Chain A
């Protein structure tokens, strides 16, 4: 099987090299065919692996590919751990990536950087596969940073735009803040377990759970809590959790296909995947789990609110992504790892769909992204309209749709959790349901229904996107609707992920919910009676009332609550704080150290000061060499006297 796994990983890499290095020579068609073929192969083999694992014809494997280095008696290796968790991620990543590749043919058809774009997204697929298939922390960190770099390159794809090259640097640096924690976490793992290998590290966890370390003199901290929180800081960067979320909305500067692939479906879920993969470690620290719960809940609710005041169609979807990532994080905190991965998968489909649909709208609108200039697009873009509707229904958790199963399971799980912070988290995720429905259908109504607010020229040219765009929409709409129904049972309650996920008996909220699970139909029935369903319905109705029925009301509300409005429009002032305090402060400190430390103190005082001292001494001593004979004679006499005196006294 190792050849199969290597093929899955290396095919996109080779295609990326072909399209990137030889792009000019092989031309546009060859570039997109080679990458699409390669990612298609990866998808086919990933699916084959997943099915094989489900049917038991393929055994889960944990194999090393090569030895990277041996340092201090520790072998650092590159290898693959393939079990059902990995295979689920592989299949999801390669499928969405494949759809995005096809879609890109249409979306980027007029872009001069066509080959470069295909090269990047294929390279991304390679990096993401390295991340999810890793069996050790070293390779995980490699994939982690590699997806970050490709994301950097893609956000800044249109490098002439000042906003794009600001956004990509910001994304990289904010992620680096997360990686700072992540790397320290890995260092902690190495120190306390002596290995980088997942399985080996996990075997040390029970022995470590009682151990403490002193970070501050005299206050012992639990080793596992420190390690887990450090690792989770990495996840906060990559999966855009408050306060490291600031880069994700700005990442919308990149072309839409990558917003769908990287900033919705795959890369941003790496943090979620990582925590789920490390479940044996996180289970050992309730402190870390509570921390995760609170961070996730805050992101889920408060980032959703920001979606309500955005007018850029992509930014609304971006805030929605933040909020949904918050849901996944909450699930991790509640020890419902399978629920997090389940929502990750369903979200990958419907959110990729929503982004690509938004992209289809953007193409039709000639790269206009402001929803205030849209409206009534339903009749011009029928396929986009219907697929968007399905995606939105999945997102808000309409009973029976995929998003319903995953989100409802998370809400139930949080409800059942007894960790500190669970009450707050439950309120946040429930409130989030209303907010989600409201911003989703605000977007939907403003775009597809109501008055046509675009200018005459744009209206004349409105038409449905080509097949390469609409077919991926349809292919993504299918799993967005149905995949939940078929997979909810095995995924959440029948131990599909097997030993990849480990939950302490006291934390096992999914098992508790599972006692009442009697198939998807009864789950739907139960859901319709729960508060979440009614909140979602209320959200849709509110959106209908505010944006279709009485479009004058939102403005009145905004002016009545101008304080809240300002807070939301300014995104809680996170960006201002970062740019005006942190970034400016760092530059100020740099200048201070440079001008005062280096130039005044070291160079001015020490270096040039020593030089001046030498010069001054020389100047003084020079006067002795006056050239007058009597000066020299006088000096000789004094010298002689001193010498004699000393000899006499010494005797």
Chain B
């Protein structure tokens, strides 16, 4: 392990300070801003690779721990650390950010420096969320992250961006307030904000249920789970491509991460008590949202709804464990559910990012997201069409792509919990293929639909690069997920033990 170098701090502050530098470059030097942003995001990616190289996947302990007093009067520390759950998400963040920087290259001509600064700062804050080991620090990053996203949608967004930003902000902010209250309550009980200490804090059932529900309010909005999902389609539709990518690929994952970092280990008894609620909402997300996605006419909305359905697998996988252990008495199925949820998060990050980038490619050319405005894109953009069909297949969970792995694990696990869970979850095979391929049929295939499509230019080198990097990642993870599952397994097993234990006061 690299001792001495505060890697996690660097991962957070390099992009944040870098973002401020880019901002300082000013609006008159757009090209400098672009290159600086690319350099900073690449440096951050490199740092995250160093982090991975030094990471020991054999243990579930927090690694690369940093601890400094921050607000001593309230026992709040600047405390960082990563385990096998946070690390893949940090890697996803640094990886996707590089692609987003490249994706905006020629597209963003308005306030370039501010655009890139917002994304870099957001990157640092998101890494902060995934590496904070102090609940208050986590909360600060969690809320701070909203600001750059608010700006990105509000400044570079579409015509209804104000409605979308306000909805997005209020929804997510409202959820988090309850979480804050719970954190303060637990501080009063235990005198600490250290997350791992909270794992050991005994809590009565009614306290646990209230804490669980307040966490649920915060995390369910972020995931988003039905019925608090309606901000997402609006936010996606109005966000610029880069914003959509970050939103779908990373921000949604924070909800899932929250369940693993807070809900399950801090309130295990309440989780057991209320698992039916989470499973029910997840299955509704899969089925209900699947049908809703089918009838969307706006490509971004369709992909947004598809995201909600796919994230349903994440929460389903996380909360299956109690039912599985009750029915089979074995931890194996429960571990499979957790792994499935985690793999689904990473995979969805790649695939939804790729899908939004594909829509972005089309939008940059035709300035329309309406499915009905397209048709026969393959005739004029054959290379692009190949990528889009590949990502569509990945979105439909084709084996050999990453989209299959998580869903496969979760469906296998849910069968062990209850046949009907598996059956409802498996409808995604049909629904996911239906809404994705129907869109592909109407957008990509067919004869050239109109003059605008006839005038389309195939993707340029920059776009080709982004999409091929994502395509390789999606295939690599689908054909060989073992490195990812191995990286996470110790931490997830440890989590499983905590979540299956009891903290009730005797």
Residues of A within 8 A of B (CB): 66-74, 138, 141-142, 144-146, 149, 152-153, 156, 159-160, 162, 165-166, 169, 172-173, 176-177, 179-180, 183-184, 186-188, 190-191, 194, 213, 215, 586-587, 589-591, 593-594, 597-598, 602-603, 606-607, 611
CA–CA, A260 and B294, complex, Å: 33
Q: Can you name the residue of chain B whose Cβ is closest to the Cβ of A146?
A: B400
Q: At the interface with chain A, which of B15-23, B81-89, B207-215, B434-442?
A: B434-442
Q: Can you name the residue of chain A whose Cβ is closest to the Cβ of B431?
A: A586
Enumerate chain B residues within 8 angstroms of A68, measured Cβ to Cβ: 479-482
B292 contacts A by Cβ under 8 Å: yes
B43 contacts A by Cβ under 8 Å: no
CA–CA, A124 and B333, complex, Å: 34
CA–CA, A66 and B481, complex, Å: 11
Contacts A/B (CB < 8 Å), 7 sampled = A69-B405, A145-B398, A146-B398, A146-B399, A176-B429, A176-B430, A186-B412
CB < 8 Å neighbour of B295 from A67, A71, A176, A594: A594
Q: Name B137-175 residues within 8 Å CB distance of A.
A: 167, 170-171
Enumerate chain A residues within 8 angstroms of B63, measured Cβ to Cβ: none
Known: A160-B447, A176-B433, A597-B288. A72 touches B294 (CB 8 A): no
Please determine whether A71 and B335 come into contact, CB atoms closer than 8 angstroms: yes
Known: A145-B398, A587-B295, A590-B294. A71 touches B485 (CB 8 A): yes
CA–CA, A607 and B233, complex, Å: 14
B422 contacts A by Cβ under 8 Å: yes
Residues of B within 8 A of A (CB): 167, 170-171, 227, 230, 288, 291-296, 328, 331-336, 339-340, 376, 378-379, 389, 393, 398-400, 404-405, 408-409, 411-416, 419-420, 422-423, 426-427, 429-430, 433-434, 437-438, 441, 444-447, 479-482, 485-486, 489
Please determine whether A589 and B331 come into contact, CB atoms closer than 8 angstroms: no
Known: A69-B482, A590-B294. A602 touches B422 (CB 8 A): no
Enumerate chain B residues within 8 angstroms of A213, measured Cβ to Cβ: 419
Q: Can you name the residue of chain A whose Cβ is closest to the Cβ of B301?
A: A594
The 9 closest A-B CB pairs, nearest first, are: A187-B415, A72-B332, A72-B336, A590-B295, A72-B335, A590-B291, A142-B399, A165-B445, A590-B294
B128 to chain A, nearest CB (A): 29
Known: A74-B336, A173-B430. A598 touches B230 (CB 8 A): yes
Known: A68-B482, A184-B415. A594 touches B292 (CB 8 A): yes
Please determine whether A145 and B335 come into contact, CB atoms closer than 8 angstroms: no
Q: Can you name the residue of chain A whose Cβ is closest to the Cβ of B405?
A: A69
B291 to chain A, nearest CB (A): 4
Q: Can you name the residue of chain B whose Cβ is closest to the Cβ of A213?
A: B419
Name, among B429, B441, B479, the residue most crowded by chain A CB atoms within 10 Å (CB to CB). Answer: B429
CB < 8 Å neighbour of A71 from B170, B328, B339: B339
Please determine whether B433 and A74 come into contact, CB atoms closer than 8 angstroms: no
Enumerate chain A residues within 8 angstroms of B429, measured Cβ to Cβ: 176, 179-180, 183
B351 to chain A, nearest CB (A): 16
Please determine whether A70 and B230 come into contact, CB atoms closer than 8 angstroms: no
Enumerate chain A residues within 8 angstroms of B293, measured Cβ to Cβ: 590
CB < 8 Å neighbour of B426 from A69, A71, A183, A607: A183
Please determine whether B292 and A191 come into contact, CB atoms closer than 8 angstroms: no
Enumerate chain A residues within 8 angstroms of B486, measured Cβ to Cβ: 70
Enumerate chain A residues within 8 angstroms of B227, measured Cβ to Cβ: 602, 606
Q: Can you name the residue of chain A whose Cβ is closest to the Cβ of B376?
A: A160
A482 to chain B, nearest CB (A): 39
Can you name 20 extra interface pairs (CB under 8 A) apart from A159-B444, A165-B441?
A69-B481, A71-B335, A71-B489, A145-B399, A156-B445, A160-B379, A162-B447, A172-B433, A176-B429, A176-B433, A180-B429, A180-B430, A183-B408, A183-B429, A184-B411, A187-B411, A190-B415, A602-B230, A603-B230, A607-B230
Enumerate chain B residues within 8 angstroms of A165, measured Cβ to Cβ: 441, 445-446
Enumerate chain A residues within 8 angstroms of B339, measured Cβ to Cβ: 71-72
Enumerate chain B residues within 8 angstroms of A591, measured Cβ to Cβ: 295
Please determine whether A180 and B426 come into contact, CB atoms closer than 8 angstroms: yes
Enumerate chain B residues within 8 angstroms of A190, measured Cβ to Cβ: 412, 415-416
CA–CA, A184 and B480, complex, Å: 23
Please determine whether A587 and B294 come into contact, CB atoms closer than 8 angstroms: yes
Enumerate chain B residues within 8 angstroms of A74, measured Cβ to Cβ: 332, 336
Known: A68-B481, A172-B437. A586 touches B405 (CB 8 A): no
CB < 8 Å neighbour of A184 from B170, B331, B423: B423
CA–CA, A477 and B79, complex, Å: 76
Enumerate chain B residues within 8 angstroms of A169, measured Cβ to Cβ: 437-438, 441
Q: Can you name the residue of chain A whose Cβ is closest to the Cβ of B378?
A: A159
Enumerate chain A residues within 8 angstroms of B480, measured Cβ to Cβ: 66, 68
Enumerate chain A residues within 8 angstroms of B170, measured Cβ to Cβ: 611
A115 to chain B, nearest CB (A): 12
B254 to chain A, nearest CB (A): 21
Please determine whether A194 and B332 come into contact, CB atoms closer than 8 angstroms: yes
